[in-house]
Structures are given as structure tokens and as C-alpha cells.
Structure 1
Amino acid sequence: MTEEPSMLPRLTLSRQIRDSLVSRIVSGQFRPGERLVETRLAATYGTSQAPVREALRELEVMRLVETQPRRGTFVRPFVHETLRESYVVRAALEETAVRLALLAGTVPVEALRSEVEAMRAAAAEGDGEASARASVSFHRRIVEAARNELLRLSWEGLQIEARTSVTMLATNMDLGDIARDHAALLEAIELGDLETACKHARDHQWHYADLPHDAHGRIRDTAAG
């Protein structure tokens, strides 16, 4: 009988396989263009093909892989570049959303406070998924408060939930820092400090673009982290 020391708990099997594959893709262990074979992955994780297939479907939603008819599933090229580009675009959209919502007086402050509290609770529990959900909800509330349908559709088109999950898995983000960063943005919003709030909204996303310079053209201190 085959030993199964690396068998994963069945209740979260497909999610754990997904997270493992994300880490392997982002780290370069699986190269762009490489085929991901369900049978081989099932053998690697000591499971049937069903949870592997489900995990691959989620990766396709995240645009980390693509399925080609009669050929199989392949790692998409330019994964890192796509993530960087999405955060630069998201920074511009969310800065505009904050500006519009503040000028219109439509910011749902109480709801944003609730999301920050949810992020703090998630940090205390070490629950990355809950933190990601609260973060996405926080930003979606601001985007919706801008009351600009084209802006909202453009923002949703970036597949925010999927990209947030990828980023959190790829960067080992500190959950406490996530809560504090959102609390700082909320404080600027509550104070009605338009330019500070807009700057924070822009810089918050630009940080994750992982470019050699920040949104203001300053060279990043790569030695610091």
C-alpha cells in the first residue's frame, strides 16, 4: 500500500492544492508554458484527479493557467508582469474612486470601519482568507460609493478577489500590516483630507506593483525589504 505522509485534509483539499500550485507558479518552480498534468499532480498530492481539476479551474480564473482544447492546461506566461500591471491600473482607479466618493459625501464610513475590524480579527486569528475577503470588501465599498459605473466595471474586470489571493500567497504579507494600512486610509477619509486619502489609496496599491520605483518616481530601497 502506498504511504501517504503528505496527504492533505479532504475538507480543504482542492484549496490547499490550489495554494500549493500558486506558490510553485509564482516562485518559478513551474515555468511559463509548462503543462500541468492532472494525473501527475494527483499522484504528487496523493489524491484523485477531482480536487486537482477543481484547483486548476480556480487557477484559470486567476489567469495563472490556461486550458487549451485537446492539449491540456499550461502555466500562463508573464504572471509577474500581469500582477504588476494590474496593481498600477488598480491604483489609478481606486485613487479616483476615493476622490469621487469624498467629494460626493457618499463614503460608507461605518461599513469601512467594520471591514477594518474584520481585518484586525483576521490578523489575530492568522486567517489570511478572512483578511483578503475584508480587504476586497473594503475597497469595493469605496469603488461603489464613487457611483461611476464604468469605473466600477473596470475595477471588477481586474478580478480583484483572485489577484488579492495570489498576492497574499506569493508575498507572505503580514496580516497586521494589512489592517493597519487600511485603518490609515480610513482615518484620512474620516478626516476629510482629500489629497492625503487619494495619495494613500494610490500608494497602497502601487506598493504591490513591485516596481523599482514608487508612484512618485522615487527609487525603492530594495535593501530594506
Structure 2
Amino acid sequence: MNLPRLCMRDQIRDVVVSRIQDGTYAPGARLKELELAGEFQVSQAPVREALRELESLGLVQSERYRGTYVRHITPQETREAYQLRACMEETAAQLAVPASMEDLALLQADVDAVVVAAWAKDLEAFARHNLAFHRRIICMSGNGVMLRVWDSLGWEVRARMAIQVVHEDSRFNDAVAEHQTIVDLLKAGDGTGAGKVLRHHNETFLDSIDVPRPRTKPSAKQNDT
């Protein structure tokens, strides 16, 4: 498989994610750097970088003598990531007020693109524009630490993994409409209201994840298996 040299790591990462998503790479499947490098006709360096990024997101795991293999991603892991995202975005909306006209115009453009993609059932475009919308609100908060933490959770990859779940949920259309409500509230200077809608917006996705809530708090010493 030939891929343009530009951003090879990202392209290899996206292909691996797609294969995990469609079952080509099942949980436990070993991902061999040399084989992937040969398939994409690149050195092992961008393959290694792509796998390291996926490992940081918990999609793959590397072990000595065993190599890199696909992890089973539990619904609980996804739930916990979105719980943190809901908290951060609620706070970001509060900090974003008063918002500049330029930021609001860019945010409106993101919403318009989300709506068009939703109507066209273009899930790739929807995921891309939806991600841009949420990240822009984090940026509008002016909190650089929050932005770094938000980015570290790898929402570009998580969106690719989760988009089918969101699209098939019966509340999808309501969730799309909430984007405009958030912008309208920010335009009105109501950061608290916008934050509440953002939190509900994220929790709509949480509710679509069928996983029981843990009865006990996780131990700080608990190792990932």
C-alpha cells in the first residue's frame, strides 16, 4: 500500500484504527512493525510512532518478548474518558465568556459544517467538524493546561472509534441541534448555561454506552491489564 509521505505517522495510525474498528485487527492480534512498514513502504520509524500514539490512548499494548498487540477496549474506559471531557468542556464554556466576535464566527462555521455532515450522513466529516467545534471551545477558555490535557486524550482517534455508536443512537438529532444552542448561549454571554448544555451533550453519549457503573472506586495502585 502506497501512502503520501506527508504525515505518514497519522495516516498509518488512522489505517490501524480503522482495522481495529472493523474487526480486521481483533483484540489480541499482534501488530508487527516490520510487516506494517513493508505494507506501507516506509521505514519502521513512522510505524513505531503511530503505534506509540495508539498505546498512549490504550488501543494497543506493548510487552517485552510479546511485541505490540491490540487491547480490548472496555466501555468503562470510554465512559471515563468522556466523563473527564464533560467536566473540562463545561468549565471551558464558562471561561470562554465574553467571547470575541471572531471566535463566535468560527464556532458558528463549525456548527454549520456539523449540521451539513449530519444531514448528508457523512460520518467522517461529522466526526472531523464535531471535534473542531469542541476543541475550539477549549481554546476559547484561554486555559493552555486544559487544552494540553484535552489534546492528550486523543479525541481524533476516539471519535473514529465512537462515531458509529453516536450515529445509531436515537438521540443523535437532538445532539446535533445542541451545537447551535451552545453557540447561541455563548453569544448571549451565558457561559454557565452553555457549559450545562455541553455537559448534557457529552452525557448523551455516555448514556449510549451500555456499561454498569463501578461499585467501588478504582485503586491508585491498580495496574492496567
**Normalized against structure 1, the TM-score is what?**
0.68
Q: 2:183 maps to what in 1?
A: 186
Letter of the 2:18 counterpart = D
Match of 1:164 among 156, 159, 164: 159
Structure 2: how far apart are the matches of 1:155 and 1:37?
27
Gaps of 5+ in 2: 4-10, 214-225
Contact 2:166 / 2:205 at 8 angstroms: preserved in 1?
no
**SS of alignment partner, residue 24 of structure 1:** coil
Cα distance change of structure 1 residues 17 and 78 upon mapping to structure 2, 3 Å threshold = closer
Percent identity, please: 28
Contact 2:60 / 2:70 at 8 angstroms: preserved in 1?
yes
Match of 1:131 among 126, 130, 142: 126
Cα distance change of structure 1 residues 36 and 61 upon mapping to structure 2, 3 Å threshold = same
Structure 2: how far apart are the matches of 1:117 and 1:101?
20
Gaps of 5+ in 1: 1-8, 43-47, 214-225
Pairing 1:149–2:138 present: no
Q: 2:21 maps to what in 1?
A: 22
Aligned residues: 193
Cα distance change of structure 1 residues 105 and 122 upon mapping to structure 2, 3 Å threshold = closer
Q: 2:61 maps to what in 1?
A: 66
Q: Which runs of 4+ in 1 moved over 6 A?
A: none
Q: 1:50 maps to what in 2?
A: 39
Letter of the 2:80 counterpart = E
Tell me how far 1:177 sits from its aligned partner: 4.8
**Normalized against structure 2, the TM-score is what?**
0.68
Letter of the 1:200 counterpart = V
Deviations 1:55-96 (A, max 9, x none): x84754653112335423323255322211110011110000
Structure 2: how far apart are the matches of 1:61 and 1:129?
23
